[in-house]
Amino acid sequence: MQYLHTMIRVGDLDRSIRFYTEVLGLKLQRRTDYPDGKFTLAFLGADETSEPFLELTYNWGVERYEIGTGFGHVALAAENIYKACELIAQLGGKVTRAPGPMKHGKSVIAFVEDPDGYQIEVIQK
């Protein structure tokens, strides 16, 4: 088995693509409309050969989803978590947990919220 992607549903695809590309630095790999199904898929990643990808699904006409209690977060690694979070905030991103050590571990982490309320964990490389 090979892990390929994680899919989340979004209420405004262009807004979400801007957030993940301009604020978090991912690259839009492909975007495809499915008129018969009335949905659009966008795949984002570090580069076109680096799976896994983040798949954003926009169901035409649906502006909001309940995140639910089963979803945890998407995790991204940063070379310098402090600078990354500073830049995220400058670009309008919402840092919900400032960078710092985990409560019961040694990893340095932070959390950011995307425009739909999904949690993104940023981990120091």
* Residue 121: active-site member: yes
Q: Provide the domain limits for residue 83.
A: 5-124
Q: CA-CA distance, 51 to 44, in Å (whole number)?
A: 9
Q: What is the pTM of this model?
A: 0.87
Q: Return the ∠ at Cα 74 (arms to 4 and 65), rounded to 5°.
A: 100
pLDDT in tens, the chain (125 residues): 787 899 999 999 999 999 999 999 999 999 999 999 999 999 999 877 777 899 999 999 999 999 888 889 999 999 999 999 999 999 999 999 999 999 888 999 999 999 999 999 999 99
CATH number for the domain spanning 83: value is 3.10.180.10
Q: How many domains does the chain have?
A: 1
